[in-house]
Structure 1
Amino acid sequence: MTQQVRRERILGAAIDCLAVSGWHGTTLAAIAQEAGISRGLISYHFAGRDDLYSAVLESVATEVFAAGSAEMQPDIDAATTAEGKLRAYITGNLRFIAAHRREMAALNELMPNLRTPEGKPRFGSEAEEPIIAGTALLFEYGVSTGEFRQGDSRFLALALRRCMDGAAVRIVADETFDVEGYGASLEQLFLDGVRV
């Protein structure tokens, strides 16, 4: 097994363990067992638990956010109205989250718990900025077409992202959660709030 393949196997095992056992229940020994390797091999590839978790966070966040954007963007672009684009954004986000429960579960554990040596979150508000800015553009587009009334697009984008984050927690925790129903309610809530 090559070093890169082993490293990827360790990252995958860490994601699985975090998704099932959570932050406090995941140990290097459990990750090694899940990966089918010795614990010492983890130390060969990663400086410790924080280094491994940082690599997991970077890997999952990069993969999930890039894949999510690539998957949703065609539907957003195809919509001919601001309302259609906002609906496509909400629906696409929620469907993507539901299709990637394992990765979302790992992110839900890592993002609030993984800290810098100074005690600050590794994935803080500055890392989220591109997502907020991109979401704000949807609301600004609606204002430019006359479909949406003027408002603070950044506040709207932040509120919508928090609704998505809350949904991600519920979707991961409850496989029976009505993703489509939640999406329809969320669309109605925001469209009622921004329509002219």
Structure 2
Amino acid sequence: MNAARKVTLTQEVRRRRIIDAAIDCLARDGWHGTTLAAIAAEAGISRGLISYHFAGRNDLYEAVLETVVTTIFAEGSAEMQQRIDSAQTAAAKLQAYIEGNLDFIGAHRREMAALGQVMPNLRGRDGALHASPDAEEPIIAGTALLFEFGSSTGEFRAVDARLTAYTLRRCIDGAALKIVADPEFDIDAYARELTSLFLRGVRS
């Protein structure tokens, strides 16, 4: 391995360490309690090294957002889609969707906590919130397909698929908030109740 490659790997490892430290601080101390100095201390580096890798606090938090949403959530989404695709009936697919989402949230409490701090606070250079109001549109549309499929097979009664999908997403997102606020929250029990509630509500 040549010297240039070693430097690149060192930089990549250090950048990842800074992002991980930022996630830890955000999850533990919140948006206002997290500073670059605190992140540097968490990562075990000097604050100057953060400035070397990131243009500023927003640049770092954008990297946190990308890591959580693009990397972690993308992997979780792929696993969840596999569970849904392998299910044979609309009811089984809906159950896989609900349980898959909540299992993922339960396994990533730290990342969910950090995301909950970044999303409502991170702003772009124009001062607008980084999160677009239309950002969840693909998620709602994809969820609606589950209800449309169930209606097409006759398993589900005719429902407003988009409205029902929106309602389900709010229930799932609510669990993400609850699990951060309450460490004792039983997300497995929540998954069972939510699955039962929606299946009873949409079945023909």
Question: TM-score surpassing 0.5?
Answer: yes
Q: How many residues align?
A: 196
Structure 1 Cα separation of the partners of residues 149 and 143 of structure 2: 10
1:185 CA displacement: 1.5
Specify the alignment match of 2:194 in structure 1: 186
Q: What is the identity, as a one-letter code, of the residue corresponding to 1:24? A: H
Look at both structures and tell me which one has the larger radius of gyration over its CA atoms: 2
TM-score by length of 1: 0.94
The answer to whether 1:99 aligns with 2:107 is: yes
What percent of counterpart residues are identical? 68
The answer to whether 1:110 aligns with 2:110 is: no
Look up the SS of the partner of 1:126 in the other structure. Answer: coil
Instruction: Name whichever of 61-70 and 139-148 sits farther off.
Output: 61-70
1:79 CA displacement: 1.4
Structure 2 Cα separation of the partners of residues 119 and 143 of structure 1: 43
Structure 1 Cα separation of the partners of residues 141 and 76 of structure 2: 16
4+ aligned runs moved over 6 Å, structure 1: none
> 155, 167, 173: which is aligned to 1:165?
173
Structure 1 Cα separation of the partners of residues 153 and 181 of structure 2: 39
State the Cα deviation string for residues 11-69 of structure 1 (Å, max 9, x = none). 01000100110111000000001111111111111111111111111111112321211
Look up the SS of the partner of 1:83 in the other structure. Answer: helix
The answer to whether 1:66 aligns with 2:83 is: no
RMSD over aligned CA atoms reads 1.4
Specify the alignment match of 1:122 in structure 2: 130
- The within-5 A match list for 1:67-82 is 67-82=75-90
Specify the alignment match of 2:95 in structure 1: 87
Structure 2: gaps (5+ residues)? 1-6
TM-score by length of 2: 0.91
Specify the alignment match of 1:19 in structure 2: 27
Structure 1: gaps (5+ residues)? none
Q: What is the identity, as a one-letter code, of the residue corresponding to 2:170? A: R
